[in-house]
Amino acid sequence: MEEIYRKARAKINLSLDVVGKREDNYHNIESIFQKINLYDELYISKTQTNGIEIKTNVEELSSQDNIIYKTYQLLKERYKEITGVQVRLKKKIPMQAGLAGGSTDCASFLFGMNQLFDLKLSKAELEKIGKSLGADVVPCFYNTVKGEGIGEIITPIYTSLKYYLVIIKPKICCNTKEAFKKIDEQRNMKQSNNSNKIKEALEQNQLEIVANHLYNVFEEVIEEKELIETIKKELIQEGAVRKFDDWNRFLCVWNI
Residues annotated as catalytic are: 11, 136
Q: Of 35, 3, 20, nearest to 138 (Cα)?
A: 35
- Cα dihedral 54→56→179→237 (10° resolution): -150
Of the candidates 200, 199, 220, 207, the residue with the CA atom closest to the CA atom of residue 252: 207
Closest residue by Cα to residue 27 from 142, 155, 136, 168: 136
Q: Find the distance separating the first CA and the last CA of the chain, reported in whole Å.
A: 39
β-bridge partners, 64: none
What's the distance, CA 113 to chain centroid? 20
Cβ contact 202:157 at 8 Å: yes
Task: Give the Cα separation of 81 and 8 in Å (integer).
Answer: 25
Residue of 118, 122, 112 whose CA lies nearest to 71: 112
d(CA 228, CA 211): 17
Alpha helices by DSSP H, listed for the chain, are 67-78, 101-116, 123-133, 176-185, 195-203, 207-212, 225-237
